[in-house]
Every structure is written in C-alpha cells, then in structure tokens.
Amino acid sequence: MKETLVLGIESSCDETSVAVVKNGREVLSNVIDTQIKIHEQFGGVVPEIASRNHIEAISRVTKLALEQANVKLEDIDVIAPTYGPGLVGALLVGVSYGRGLAYASNKPLVGVNHLEGHISANYITHPDLEPPFLCMLTSGGNTQIVYVKDYCDMEVLGRTRDDAIGEAFDKVARVIGLTYPGGPKIDELAEQGKATINFPKTHFENLDFSFSGIKTAVINLHHKNPEVNKADLCMSFEKAVTEVLTENIEKAIKQTGIKKVVLAGGVSANTHIREEFEKLGQKLNVQIYKPDLKLCTDNAAMIGSAGYYRYLHGDISDNTLNAVPNLKIGE
C-alpha cells in the first residue's frame, strides 16, 4: 500500500493544531496550541481573540508538526484544513493557511468537515474499525446520531432541536460557579456526588434530542437553592443527559440493526457517559468504540484522518475553498 501523508490543520474554535497522519490511521505528529487559559477569564471563547491567536500560532505549530514527524513539506501528499463548522474567523485562518500551503507546494487541497474529523478520531484509536457503524456525536455545538455507511457516506438519524449537550454542560457549569471549560469541571465534581435529584427529560418519537429543559431545570434549582450539594447536582445532571443519549442510541440500534457504536466529540470524554455506553454495549451485545481521551477534543490528527479518506474518495477542493461556519454532515 502506498504511503500517503496528510497534513491536517484544525482551527475551528480555540485550538490551533497541525498534524501529520499516515494512511489515515497512524499519527506521526499532533501539535496542539490551546487557548483555554486565554479565554478562561471571559467564561467562554471570544471569537475575535481566538482568530488573532490562531494567526499568531499557525506557522509555528505547522513547523513544529513537520519537525516532530521528521518530514518536510515536500514529503506531504495532501493538505487538509477544517473548513467548517465552527467560528468563521477562526476557520478562515486554517483554511487560508492551508490554501496557501497547497498552492505554494503544488499539493492537493482537501477541505474537511470538522464533525467528520471527530468521527475519524476513532480510526486512529481503533485501527480495526471500519464502517458501517452508528456514531453518537456529542460536542459543544452538536449532538447527533450519525449512521456512517462508509467512510464518506453518512446520514444524520437524529439531532438536537435546541442546545447541544456540550452547551448545556458549559451553561450549567457557569451558573454553579465552575470555570471554563465547564464539561471537565462538572465531570470531576460529579465523581464525588450521587444522583439524588430527578431532572425532567424530553423524548421524541424520532431520534432527536432536547437538552434545554434539563439545563433550565438544573439552573432553576440552583437559583432557588444555592446551597444545594453541587456534586450531587452535577451527578444528577450527568445521569439525566446520559440516559437521553443511551435511550436514543438503543432505538437507533434497533431501527438499523447495526451492532457497532462509536463515541465522538469533546463530550465523549465524559467519564459517566463512557461508563454507561460500555454497560449498554454489554446489555445489547454491541461493540462500543471510544476515542482516546486526547483525541476527543479538537485536534488536527482527526482532521488528517478524515482528510485521507476524502482524498481517496476523490474529494479534492480548489483554491476557492472557504469557511462554512454552519456546515452540516453530508454537505
């Protein structure tokens, strides 16, 4: 098999990352320059500040990624930047840089959907994983059940109708006084608590989700009773949202007959969610695949993996590739 080296570029939010990935599965380097400390003081990502920091970091991060992989730009076969979804200003930094590199080095340019990248993180963690499978995609901006029929053929079976699950985590964390990013802080605190509070869950006949009701119930309870045990509150919140995820994925398994389930996205790093999906797998005799924790959050290795399969599929972008902040799977 011919070796194909992909230079993945990720700048959709507050991580500037560049990676070198071989044949979609082997990571030769994965450099991540995070802005968490910068945005922590604001309680969330400030788009303009994120864009400026991407501009300052991207050349340095690219150079380091090539050095760590022990390759030169001329050794790279494909340039693959994330072009959406995400913050438009942040995306434009990676897209423009990728376009410039591809043009200057006469390499193919392959625009990558950030959500496909999250799914592809599992190809790195699990070299034996191949479609078809179901993916429970959970992040700050998305909550979706995706039927991955082939590497480049995906269908969204269910999505959130309001808040993404990661958004609910961050808002709850902010209200109860935890710092940004809220998801890991809730996870840590919940491990010390018990699920003593029953929060309402929204169900639909199809596979869609809603988290605004749970989020509002948690916030209202905290406002009425600021002395409530925060560890128990966090564990009860995690239990409620996880039950919504597992109930819907169980329905999807029964509808499709697919016996492989993949977790993807930043929220898939949550301890309780990972544990409950393992239990579901044992209950239904279904294989559960989880990405390495370091590949759950935004990184360029997952983009390089997705870019490799798009390249094999013949999805070459021209030099007019632009940022698409609301890009959806299948577009």
Of the candidate ranges 53-57, 117-121, 246-250, 261-265, the one whose mean pLDDT is the lowest: 53-57
Q: Are 308 and 24 in contact (CB under 8 A)?
A: yes
User: In Å, what is the CA distance from 270 to each residue of 14, 132, 191?
Assistant: 20, 24, 11
Q: Of 15, 258, 328, 264, whose CA–CA distance to 124 is shortest?
A: 264
Q: What are the pLDDT digits (tens) for 156-209?
A: 999 999 999 999 999 999 999 998 888 899 999 999 999 999 999 998 999 999
When pLDDT is cut at 50, 70 and 90, the band that residue 1 belongs to is: low
pLDDT one-digit tens code per residue, 263-298: 999 999 999 999 999 999 999 999 999 999 999 999
Q: Please, what sign has the CA dihedral across residues 68, 71, 77, 78?
A: positive
Cβ neighbours for 290, distance < 8 A, ≥ 6 positions apart = 122, 125, 262, 263, 268, 274, 277
- 3-class SS of residue 290: coil
Task: Name the band, by pLDDT with cuts 50, 70 and 90, for residue 98.
Answer: very high
Beta carbons within 8 Å of 149's beta carbon, 6+ residues apart:
131, 132, 155
pLDDT by residue (tens digit) across 34-78? 887 778 777 778 778 888 989 999 999 999 999 999 999 999 999
Instruction: Compute the distance between CA of residue 263 and CA of residue 139 in angstroms, rounded to an integer.
Output: 11
Domains detected in the chain: 5-118+295-312 (3.30.420.40), 131-293 (3.30.420.40)
Pair type for strands 260-264 and 287-289: parallel
What gap in Å lies between CA 110 and CA 108, rounded to an integer?
A: 7
> For all residues of the chain together, what is the average pLDDT?
95
CB 57 within 8 A of CB 32: no
For residues 295 and 301, give the distance between their C-alpha atoms in angstroms, rounded to a whole number.
8
